[in-house]
A and B are shown apart, each in its own frame.
Chain A
């Protein structure tokens, strides 16, 4: 797809997504929009997709592994909750979440880069557990298991975002910018270098690509996406406690990328959609949804390693050939 076509498709999708929660019956379109809970789920999908985009950059493009994305989401969420409750603007909290998680990503990735891959996974696993312990035990700052409540939704240019549709539009705007930034990176020579790391680091190094530096950049950028997703998560749910930032949710982020299509641009959106919507659809089965999710992952790994996006691409290519 050419750059122009990609941008036009992206813009059309953006307009469509902006209209999803809106009641269009006033303008003669028989569509009632979404209720408050539906809009909340849609916003949660966007926030989850931002964090999954970060995992996709690390795992799908750069070929590394991370088991700490939920911890980075947690850092962003707690930082935002603490900073905004102290009376500072949301913009400052959002930027600080991105910068802090980027810096932690650099500090965490640097020692692990001599060995990469599985060792990076072990380092992130340990970091994930460490963060969860801090979130749970350091009550003086995180509120411990009682968490932090009454996190205010911000205003944007004097426009209060308490209303759920307005907040959805705000998150949609930020998600669009972050999607555009990532699209730009993966299409640039940086993206090509990331792919080279994944496919053949030995050859990449011999072509002048600084494998350590690019791996570190991909890892830190992915972590920053987690931090910024967390910064949006806190005012969305208005109450945070340690449970969504444990090791389990980090594994879920990995699975989202696998299910959606690792290394494909739309994969994280599809994977996040399934991860957010599946528990809603399977609510009647309560915790059985995890079992269904696990079976889905196994089927995907065995028969469609390219995930849902890979499967769709294969079907479309086959249809075009007929």
Chain B
């Protein structure tokens, strides 16, 4: 399989603190890669450097062979890269359906055609499909702000797929979600990966969730990669055990 995402020698400091120190890895087309590590290991900073929210001090990011280092998130999204955030980021005053349409509308037609075209930007059928897929159909006309935390997490995830992205970066998708909803979320993500071949990079603290979902793991500690491999191997790695127990 070819590398869809290539991360090379990323470094990022804040004042005297070096948050990410020369991190390099590839993500192959269609795989689910997990990025784990104790608190403060640099996972979110790395994510933000990949996604253009932060400009790295050094290193490069390539998507499909194209250099996208420091590209603005909106442009990166239009190149087929979506993300979810650690903290909930839905639009509380819009309905569930409107949140989904908003998530995909900038990928439909020109800006002018969106002004004069249909109100749903031609995304009605796609929104229906996503509502059914993420089992949110009965909530479609509810405002996102009135949903439970777990339901909002599902909506947040569903929004990442409305643009037809090939690469989706999920920042702690399991955070704060109850066990029933968690199983549902994992099963939905696996199904999308299986059916459409979308590639995932997942930052997660919930070990059970990430071990079950991901085919490969990268472990970060103090801004560096300390282990990489299949979940079962990573779990037994003494460096990983030390990094977690040491914190």
List residues of A whose CB falls within 8 A of some B CB: 185, 187-190, 192-193, 195-196, 199-200, 202-203, 205-211
A203–B163 CA distance with the chains assembled, in angstroms: 14
Cβ-defined contact, A189 with B89, below 8 A: no
Q: Judge if B211 is at the interface, Cβ distance under 8 Å.
A: no
- What is the minimal beta-carbon distance from A224 to any residue of chain B, in angstroms? 15
Q: Kindly list chain B residues whose C-beta atoms are within 8 Å of the C-beta of A208.
A: 74, 77-78, 106-107, 163
Cβ-defined contact, B82 with A206, below 8 A: yes
List residues of B whose CB falls within 8 A of some A CB: 51, 53, 72-74, 77-78, 82-83, 85, 89-94, 98, 101-103, 105-107, 111, 114-117, 119, 121, 159, 163
Q: Which one of A189, A200, A206 lies within 8 Å of B83 (CB-CB)?
A: A206
Q: Kindly list chain B residues whose C-beta atoms are within 8 Å of the C-beta of A207.
A: 74, 77, 82, 102-103, 106, 159, 163
Q: Kindly list chain B residues whose C-beta atoms are within 8 Å of the C-beta of A203.
A: 85, 89-91
The prevalent SS among residues of A at the interface is helix
Q: Which one of B51, B93, B105, B114 lies within 8 Å of A206 (CB-CB)?
A: B51
Cβ-defined contact, B105 with A189, below 8 A: yes
Q: Which one of A193, A199, A205, A210 lies within 8 Å of B105 (CB-CB)?
A: A193
A230–B72 CA distance with the chains assembled, in angstroms: 38
A3–B91 CA distance with the chains assembled, in angstroms: 23
Q: A206-B83, A208-B77 are known contacts. Are A189 and B103 too (CB-CB below 8 A)?
A: no
Q: Kindly list chain B residues whose C-beta atoms are within 8 Å of the C-beta of A187.
A: 119
Minimal Cβ-Cβ distance residue in A for B144: A199
Cβ-defined contact, A209 with B83, below 8 A: no
Cβ-defined contact, A189 with B114, below 8 A: yes
- What is the minimal beta-carbon distance from B156 to any residue of chain A, in angstroms? 9
Would you give 23 A-B contacts (Cβ < 8 Å), ordered by A?
A188-B115, A190-B114, A190-B115, A192-B105, A193-B106, A195-B91, A195-B94, A196-B91, A199-B93, A200-B89, A200-B91, A203-B89, A205-B72, A205-B74, A206-B74, A206-B77, A206-B89, A207-B159, A208-B74, A208-B106, A209-B74, A209-B106, A210-B106
A189–B123 CA distance with the chains assembled, in angstroms: 11
Q: A199-B92, A207-B163 are known contacts. Are A192 and B102 too (CB-CB below 8 A)?
A: yes
Q: Kindly list chain A residues whose C-beta atoms are within 8 Å of the C-beta of B91.
A: 195-196, 199-200, 203
Cβ-defined contact, A206 with B115, below 8 A: no
- What is the minimal beta-carbon distance from B172 to any residue of chain A, in angstroms? 15
Q: A189-B119, A189-B121 are known contacts. Are A195 and B93 too (CB-CB below 8 A)?
A: yes
Cβ-defined contact, B115 with A189, below 8 A: yes
